Amino acid sequence: MDLQDKRKPIPFISSFSFAVSGIMTALKTERNMRIHFISSVIVLVLSFYFSITKMEWLFILFVIGGMFALELINTAIERVVDLVTVEYHPLAKQAKDLAAGAVLVYAALAVAIGIVIFLPYALHMF
């Protein structure tokens, strides 16, 4: 019998509690997560203000959700690397840099999608 079989299953509602705890930890401890959160609030306000289409809403919601998910994964990778080694190691640096790079690529995509969606609405105002 392996270790997996000896553990009690986690109640379904507890798994949500753990997930929310992780999100709250990231919001409290990670500057970039707070920046993404504030940016998301601004984007949502603009989305309501401009009365964007349903299809545009889908893109906005996917971009926001994806950004949060990727930032949480990046933070988890950083924590695991820090847990495994306190000394500098080139592979540890690469792991952190690769995860940060993934966030940067997605953030650039998010900005591009934001420009495509909001620029016509902003130009229409003038």
Cβ(72)–Cβ(23) under 8 Å? yes
Identify whether 71 is a catalytic site residue.
yes
Question: Among residues 30, 56, 71, 87, which one is catalytic?
Answer: 71
3-state secondary structure of 27: helix
| Packed helices 31-50 and 90-125: angle between N→C axes, nearest 10 degrees | 20
Active-site amino acid positions: 71
